[in-house]
A and B are shown apart, each in its own frame.
Chain A
Amino acid sequence: MIVRTLTGFARGLALLALAATQVVILGLALVAFTLTFGLGLVFLFPWSVRMVRGRTRQARRIAGSWAGVKIDAPYRPTPPPPVPQRDGWYREGRQLYRTSLIPNFNRTFDWMSKDPATWRDYAWLIAEPVVGGLIAASPLLMVGYGVLLAAVGRPVEVLAGLVLVAGGVLIAPHVPRVHGLWTKVLLAPTQRARLLNEVRHLTQARTEAVDTQAAELRRIERDLHDGAQARLVAIGMTLGAAEELVDSDPRAAKALIAKVREASAASLVELRQLVRGIHPPVLAERGLGDAVRALALDSPLEVTVSVDLPARAEAPVESAAYFVISELLTNAGRHAGARSVAVDISHRGAALRLTVTDDGHGGADPSKGSGLQGIERRLAAFDGVLAVNSPVGGPTTAVVEIPRAYPGIGGGIIPRWKVRLMTVCWGLFWLPLFPQGLVTLVMKIFGADERSWFLALYLPEVLQLPVIFAMIALGGGMVAYGTRMARQLKAADGACA
């Protein structure tokens, strides 16, 4: 508790110092802004935006590590570099350039100036010294003012001062969090930016999924065309020949029919292999758990499988998970030289989680292995992620997580207004609780003449106490709500991660 309070004070102080030094950055940024848009010194703009982004990046990082308030970078992805035409010139609109310098600058300028996140950064830069500084300074101010008040020496002031000091000590541990939530208001991606990013990501994933699917269909078409189809043609022809021979040469006809039987058996074998590659029958019949168990039985490796699933997932998810495990098992045997593999299939909230651990010699690298890249492509369509930990010398652990595989399980989404309400509660709870509540109560009990800014004391006598208690209750309620929501938010974050 003491440690938390002291860190709270220290971090508050640090945040205050940062907010103060920010004035310099703000000044530079404003000068650069004026020169850019006033005098046309456009080359200053990217430089100043990078400086501002450096500062906001730091603020996001601090919010994350000191207060656990995760803030994603809101910026649009950097534009691709300009590509020269066949003659080596760079075309932009109706202009041609000899080098990529100007087109490159134009792209950077557009990218920065058309991104609303840039202007939100500036807004934060201006507001932070006041708002952030006030938040960071509030416990220090309360303690300082309380000490000054107590130093006056009259019992009323001493008591009021002590309550203020206590209040300051009480809120100190929460300062980084409140500051983080304030930072989030302007520096987090807006709903629109988030959606735009999501759309961009989905478009890419869809393109990849469609490409993979098309390639797969082409492979199936080729297999059918060269295999089963050709064999059926041969079977038909041989049966025709046998039909003609059946009266004149029954023995030859019999031999032909035997050949037809062989051909049909061979095409069945081919079709069976093809079906296994498209959608393994056990997967259709029994679901992911038993399909992987069947896979383990067929594997020359010693594979142990443990399954803990609430229900059957959607068929495409099951299929992707199955092929991912199949690929990982193949890798373990072929590349890692493993003898035994442990497969764990479980769910974490609504997410499906696969863990494959082998005792091979390790050294797998997703950026090199085409197999691992194939897995990532397959997972991309489901927003799934692959994490491989494979030190040289082994063992290798691959963890795959597919989010939202089991909709309806785990924490739901918390509406935005509740998050906002939580921020307000955290930011303002001290106002009713301390000056308008506890301190006023002390003033009232000791019958001080000073009414200053204690609103309840301006009311008629009968209403004073009820209003004071209502204020204390309101402040307490705000703390309680803020705490509860913070806990829920944490749980929801865990379920979505």
Chain B
Amino acid sequence: MRVVLAEDLYLLRDGLVRLLEAHGFEIVAAVESGPELLRALLDERPEVAVVDVRLPPTFTDEGLQAALAARRSIPGLPVLVLSQHVEQLYARELLADGTGGVGYLLKDRVFNAGQFVDAVRRVAGGGTAMDPDMIARLLASNARNEPLGRLTPREREVLELMAEGRSNAAIAQRLYLSESAVAKHTASIFAKLDLAPSDDDNRRVLAVLAYLNGTRG
């Protein structure tokens, strides 16, 4: 799988290259600044891009801006954004076009190579990978949402994992449940939140995130 990587710290860039290559990815470009990233994305058209938010020359949100610009010219270009901190504002901007194929994770998540590589694959496949931290804050800012308050603790756990972008199978494995039990919880959550059920994993995740962001409909 062809990957473009953008990260300005040499040690971290090198580490990411090693990690991804060890898991069978092909790094077609590893760049360290915003303009380079945009050029690489448009020239190489990778299957997935792994991008740090803060990049030279301005050290503001160069990486995010380059990724968003690239997605405007190549709709659906899968992008996984890494950052030292997660912001709902940035997640909204990534999700805004509603096509999926986006991920937004804390840099710490690369500590767990297996889960990180899984997230990269998920994004490359058009899925979503949202950081658990982000989901927790999203739920915290929805503290007064009544339908959410009616969820059982188990359903809430399922909702959190679903919002992160995980499939039923992955949720089942994580919570030590059967897949059919997860499916039952999912159906119940969608009914309580008054969302249209969907078999498609990606569309389901986007619907849940849109609901939590208050941008539904």
In the complex, the answer to whether A285 meets B54 with C-beta atoms within 8 Å is yes
- Neighbouring B residues of A385 by C-beta, 8 Å: none
What 9 A-B pairs come out closest when comparing CB atoms? A297-B88, A294-B89, A285-B60, A300-B143, A285-B61, A281-B85, A294-B87, A268-B108, A265-B108
* Binary per-residue interface labels of chain B (109-129) against chain A in the complex, 1 for a CB within 8 Å, 0 otherwise: 001000000000000000000
State the Cβ distance, B143 to closest chain A Cβ, in Å: 4
Partner-B contacts on A (CB < 8 A): 261, 264-265, 268-269, 272, 275-276, 281-282, 284-286, 290, 293-294, 297-300, 339
**CB closest chain-A residue, reference B93:** A290
Contact B87 A272 (CB under 8 A): no
The CA-CA distance from A281 to B108 in the complex, in Å, is 17
B37 to chain A, nearest CB (A): 16
In the assembled complex, the Cα of A321 lies from the Cα of B54 at a distance in Å of 23
Q: Which residues of A contact B192 (CB under 8 A)?
A: none
The reply to whether the CB of B53 lies closer than 8 angstroms to some CB of chain A is: yes
What residues of chain A lie closer than 8 Å to B53, measured between beta carbons? Answer: 285
Please state if B108 and A286 are interface contacts (CB–CB under 8 Å).
no
Question: Which residues of chain A come closer than 8 Å to B92, judged between CB atoms?
Answer: 297
CA gap between A299 and B89 in the complex, in Å: 12
Total contacting residues, chain B, CB less than 8 A = 20
Which residues of B from 68 to 91 have beta carbons under 8 Å from A?
A: 84-85, 87-89
- Within the complex, what minimum Cβ distance (angstroms) separates B140 from chain A? 7
Q: Interface code B134-154, partner A: CB below 8 Å = 1, 0 otherwise?
A: 000100111110000000000
Which residues of the partner chain A approach B106 to less than 8 Å between Cβ atoms?
A: 268
Chain A minimum-CB-distance residue to B213: A297
Q: A285-B53, A285-B61, A286-B60 are in contact. Are A297 and B85 (CB under 8 A)?
A: no
Please tell me if the beta carbons of B89 and A290 are within 8 angstroms of each other in the complex.
yes
Distance (Å) between the CB of A483 and the closest chain B CB? Answer: 48
Of B61, B85, B89, which is in contact with the most chain A CB atoms at under 10 Å from its CB?
B89
Q: How far is the CA of A284 from the CA of B61 in the complex (A)?
A: 9
Residue of B nearest to A281 (CB): B85
Q: How far apart sit A293 and B213, CA to CA, in the bound complex (Å)? A: 13
Q: Which residue of B lies closest to A294 (CB)?
A: B89
Residue of B nearest to A272 (CB): B85
- Assess A282 versus B108: contact at CB under 8 Å? Given A298-B140, A300-B140, A300-B143: no
Residues of chain A contacted by B111 (CB below 8 angstroms): 261, 264-265
Q: A265-B111, A268-B108, A298-B140 are in contact. Are A281 and B88 (CB under 8 A)?
A: no
Shortest distance in angstroms between B68's beta carbon and chain A's nearest beta carbon? 13
Q: Is the CB of A300 within 8 A of B144?
A: yes
Q: What separation, in Å, do the CA atoms of A282 and B107 have in the docked complex?
A: 16
How far apart sit A275 and B85, CA to CA, in the bound complex (Å)? 10
Q: In the docked arrangement, what's the CA distance between A275 and B83, Å?
A: 13
Residue pair A282, B141 in contact (C-beta under 8 Å):
no
Beta-carbon nearest neighbor of B91 in chain A: A297
* Known A298-B141, A299-B141; 12 more pairs at CB < 8 Å: A261-B111, A268-B108, A272-B85, A281-B54, A281-B87, A285-B60, A294-B88, A300-B140, A300-B142, A300-B143, A300-B144, A339-B144
Closest to A284 in B: B60
Shortest Cβ gap from A103 to chain B (Å): 59
Residues of A within 8 A of B60 (CB): 284-286
Chain B nearest CB: distance from A328 CB in Å?
17
Known contacts A265-B108, A294-B88; is-contact A300 B141 (Cβ 8 Å):
yes
Q: Bound state CA distance, A384 and B48, in angstroms?
A: 48
Whole-angstrom CA separation of A275 from B107 in the bound complex = 15
Q: Once the chains bind, are B88 and A276 in contact (CB under 8 Å)?
A: no
**Complex contacts, A264 vs chain B, CB 8 Å:** 111
Residue of B nearest to A268 (CB): B108
CA of A281 to CA of B84, assembled, Å? 9
Cα of A300 to Cα of B92 in the assembled complex, Å: 17
Given contacts A265-B108, A297-B141, A300-B140, contact A286 B61 (CB under 8 A): yes
Bound form: Cα–Cα A284–B143 in Å = 28
Cα-based distance from A113 to B153 in the complex (angstroms): 77
Residue on B nearest A262 in the bound complex, by CB: B111
A354 to B1, CA, bound (A): 50
Judge whether A298 and B137 touch: CB under 8 Å.
yes
* From A261, A285, A298, A339, contact of B88 by CB (8 A): A298
With A285-B61, A300-B143 known as contacts, the answer to whether A272 contacts B88 (CB < 8 A) is: no
Looking at the assembled complex, report how far the CB atom of B210 sits from the nearest CB atom of chain A, in whole angstroms.
14
Q: Which residues of A contact B140 (CB under 8 A)?
A: 298, 300
Question: B109: nearest residue on chain A (CB-CB)?
Answer: A265
Question: Do residues B89 and A293 form an inter-chain contact, with CB atoms below 8 A?
Answer: yes
A-B contact pairs, 24 of them (CB 8 A): A261-B111, A265-B111, A268-B106, A268-B108, A269-B108, A275-B84, A275-B85, A276-B85, A281-B85, A281-B87, A285-B53, A285-B60, A286-B89, A293-B89, A294-B89, A297-B88, A297-B89, A298-B137, A298-B141, A299-B141, A300-B140, A300-B142, A300-B143, A339-B144
Report the minimum CB–CB distance from A282 to chain B (whole Å).
Answer: 5
Contacts of B85 in A (CB 8 A): 272, 275-276, 281
Give the residue name and chain of the B residue nearest to A293 (CB). Answer: B89
- Smallest distance from the beta carbon of B203 to chain A beta carbons, Å? 23
> Which residues from B are CB-within-8-Å of A294?
87-89
A272 and B84 within 8 A (CB) = yes
**Smallest CB–CB gap between A92 and chain B, Å?**
59
Shortest Cβ distance from B143 into A: residue: A300
**Chain B residue at smallest Cβ distance from A287:** B60
Q: What B residues does A265 contact at CB under 8 A?
A: 108, 111
The smallest C-beta distance from A116 to any residue of chain B, in angstroms, reads 52
B132-186, CB < 8 A from A = 137, 140-144
CB distance from B169 to the nearest CB of A (A): 26
- In the bound complex, CA of A297 to CA of B92 (Å): 10
Question: Considering only CB atoms, which chain A residue lies closest to B140 in the complex?
Answer: A300
Tell me the nearest residue of chain B to A339, going by C-beta.
B144
B89–A282 contact, CB under 8 A? yes
Chain B neighbourhood of A275, CB < 8 A:
84-85
Q: How far is the CA of A121 from the CA of B94 in the complex (A)?
A: 67
A264-B111, A265-B111, A268-B108 known; A282+B144 contact, CB < 8 A: no
A299 contact set on B, CB distance < 8 A:
141
Inside 8 A of A272's CB, which chain B residues have their CB?
A: 84-85
Docked complex Cα distance between A282 and B92 (Å):
14
Expressed in whole angstroms, the minimum distance between the Cβ of A357 and any Cβ of chain B is 19
Task: Specify which chain B residues have a CB less than 8 angstroms from the CB of A286 in the assembled complex.
Answer: 60-61, 89
